[in-house]
Amino acid sequence: MNEKIKLFLEKAEKDEALAAKLSAIKDPDEAYALAASLQDGFTKEEFVAAMEGIRNGDLTADDLGKLAGGANETAISGLSVTGGAAAAGAAAI
């Protein structure tokens, strides 16, 4: 996953208002526009691919740990499937 997308997802995990905004978005173009307005350095195609990977569970526990700054798997379990800003963004894709 693009490092800049990881930075955006880290921001979203730390910012409840941003996570809520992402959760409300149902349109991939709108999700990308929000992400790109807050973090540059990735294309729409890279963003969509990352969100699809999250939604499909393609990320490993190690990938998620890196994304969550080294948090253990239990602490980040909601990120991949059941919740979290990353999953919220993925839901729009």
The structure's pTM equals 0.63
Angle (deg, nearest 10), helices 3-14 and 84-91: 110
Is 21 a residue whose pLDDT tops 50? Answer: yes
Confidence category of residue 4, pLDDT binned at 50, 70, 90: very high
User: pLDDT digit string (tens) for 52-85?
Assistant: 888 887 765 566 556 555 444 433 333 333 345 5
Give the C-alpha separation, 24 to 91, whole Å.
9
